[in-house]
Structure 1
């Protein structure tokens, strides 16, 4: 991509809509606007215009034109926007008219955001925040993405980098004054104290995985013996027939996932195959997948039949204690002693009648809120962030180790600073740019 080219794209969602926004960025944005609808309007003021074909003068549509001259624009370049009617034919004709102009081409995915980054308008964490904001499906995800897009993560990482630069300066001072033992020793002590404090902060930050869970979704797995109502509960939570329900045991042979918005929180609920002695290769594979999902789950619901609660103990390995759920309590009235041997802490419900389901939703929402670090500032949201911070922490640990002389220790601080710099894009980021910007839609 070259900054000498002018790019254009549909910046709103494709398809039939009341209004569509076409964005144009680059040195030829003003000329493109002039050829389609006359002289650019005053900066940042909308003007109603007839949009015409540059070649024939045919009126393509009537809409609003905006002129956003650089550098005070999203990309840092001259930007023009056309707000037109959202029919596919109208949008296609206007895009064709723009790309027929010399020096104007369609934008590549994420190219507007990449130009904003390259022109210093935003850093990499803000770019990733924008991508997450576009993809956000729940209120909590949107709040986290906005916080990152507004520079919350950048402020934290830059403050750490500044502290690391100071420690590095002290280490270099120790090298410069190596002949003066007292000065060198004092600089080394100060540098070690600063690094110890910084290492503690980064290590605590790395322990929190709530931001990544919030971005991807809180994972709840429904497990249990066959024919206890796991699929019925999934359907009740999803409020639709997401899974096949049958009186026949072992109906579910594979995992079925449903993405839910529970009180503004992203929750992924998984229905799994009933756990028992497999009666065939297909069921055995389903049970294997069930156990794998259980191990990766943030919360496991171990469901049993309220009329036969002797299987309330969960013969599974999970990262946390499974939550017991007694289903079919609507049948307890016909079996007076049913459910008496189940733990008092077990959740009692009927997926068929809906009794107790809303209480389960409240419990799931509470667990999700606790596990997703909702409201926590500057949390890690991506594997890239975690990898760079772990690499920086490792370098700081090596600095504090006993091996290596002053020169080696100073080099470890340079390595740590480079990894922190890669988080925001200050240095050495070319290899991560393609992966980040490819997530964007064309008009962003």
Structure 2
């Protein structure tokens, strides 16, 4: 029996697919790799045709059994094909040696699916082999359904896509590979008039407001932990990333250098930075003073600051030197177990703090991670919408926002599309 039946997936189509090792003819399907050849962070394959959905149902084990919906990404495991139970123990043993691959599947219109997987050659080759085993044929990229493959915007989007490290950021780049920005630019290039310039600017505003984030999709978000010495910043970092990245010691000045650790929260690549505790320069030695200077530099370049403090035995809380208000901030009260001990706060936080945590017990960490993902994700475009992916695109669109004639806007959109490029 086919493995997708054993997993109770796609019961509605179970009659459509035959065992791939039988001689029965399966519905037609073809696949192509949308990202370039060679090693990359993420690879994307497109599978389309009448047989695409049965193959997905057979090879993909989703994290939940919610029915597929167009444009809705689905996380899960690529379990591949399994040989028919023929008693061939050697073949069956070989099949179990293949570990499941973490993948993201995106259903699209016209019986089309995108398969997002690790960009290493082995992962891509394994999935392509499974597709061939299910009688899908390989098609060249030129025969796929990518819009205007030779367009500069598409090539730029493919370059960014190959460097993305998570499915969420890759999805934004993939929307542009599919032509979200290209189609938007073409529409306005031929339709803008004096009367529609306000509408054009209204549609352009979301692209410009998210550009500071979308032009760095291949880079992690910088989240910096800052605050006074000995408030538990290093312990909090270790708890967030799940391993001991920073040394912890109940002594001010333990952290001297800026320590980094990468992780993923809410589908976003994040680089946490643990910095030296900031206190009065007059009371510290030269080495610690340099650590404080580096901490302040890191804070100034952050996408999000975690301002960490703790309750004090004598009452009140350790002081935080507030950085520029232009940097997004999350106020964290660590060591919340001391609240009741010092009889300072009731069981809930006051409005001076966003999240309360106990790095040693894990209390509040889940809420902190959700809040971090929410704060950083606010400045990302919606799925399927156009986005600016590099400085060239951003500069041209800034110029077009200031243009006051349809002719100027049309010319700038032509530059965006790349009509002057080969």
Q: Which TM bucket (shorter chain)?
A: 0.5 to 0.7
How far the C-alpha of 1:226 sits from its partner, in A, is: 0.8
Would the alpha carbon gap of residues 387 and 292 (structure 1) be closer, same or farther in structure 2, given more than 3 Å must change? Answer: same
How far the C-alpha of 1:280 sits from its partner, in A, is: 3.7
Q: Residues 79-158 of structure 1: matches in 2 within 5 Å? A: 121-158=149-186
Number of matched pairs: 280
Secondary structure, counterpart of 2:378 in structure 1: helix
CA distance in 1, matches of 2:357, 2:198: 51
Residues 255 and 270 in structure 1, CA contact (< 8 A), matched pair in contact too = yes
Aligned equivalent of 1:33: none
CA distance in 2, matches of 1:129, 1:421: 17
How far the C-alpha of 1:343 sits from its partner, in A, is: 3.0
In structure 1, runs of 5+ residues without a counterpart are 1-9, 15-84, 87-111, 168-191, 400-409, 431-444
CA distance in 1, matches of 2:325, 2:222: 12
Q: Residues 291-302 of structure 1: matches in 2 within 5 Å? A: 291-302=296-307
Q: Residues 342-353 of structure 1: matches in 2 within 5 Å? A: 343-344=350-351, 346=353, 347-353=355-361
In structure 2, runs of 5+ residues without a counterpart are 1-35, 41-120, 123-139
Scaled by the length of structure 2, the TM-score of the pair is 0.58
How far the C-alpha of 1:271 sits from its partner, in A, is: 1.7
Q: Does 1:426 align with 2:419?
A: yes
Residues 314 and 322 in structure 1, CA contact (< 8 A), matched pair in contact too = no
Residues 214 and 373 in structure 1, CA contact (< 8 A), matched pair in contact too = no
Structure ID, larger Rg: 1
CA distance in 1, matches of 2:384, 2:279: 41
Aligned equivalent of 1:93: none
Aligned Cα root-mean-square deviation (Å): 3.4
Aligned equivalent of 1:264: 267
Would the alpha carbon gap of residues 391 and 229 (structure 1) be closer, same or farther in structure 2, given more than 3 Å must change? Answer: same
Would the alpha carbon gap of residues 153 and 229 (structure 1) be closer, same or farther in structure 2, given more than 3 Å must change? Answer: same
How far the C-alpha of 1:276 sits from its partner, in A, is: 1.0
Q: Which has the higher helix share?
A: 1
How far the C-alpha of 1:205 sits from its partner, in A, is: 2.9
Residues 312 and 318 in structure 2, CA contact (< 8 A), matched pair in contact too = no
How far the C-alpha of 1:255 sits from its partner, in A, is: 2.5
Aligned equivalent of 2:374: 366
CA distance in 1, matches of 2:380, 2:219: 10
Deviation string, structure 1 residues 137-193 (Cα, Å, up to 9, x no partner): 1121121121111111111111122235xx5xxxxxxxxxxxxxxxxxxxxxxxx33
Q: Does 1:286 align with 2:291?
A: yes
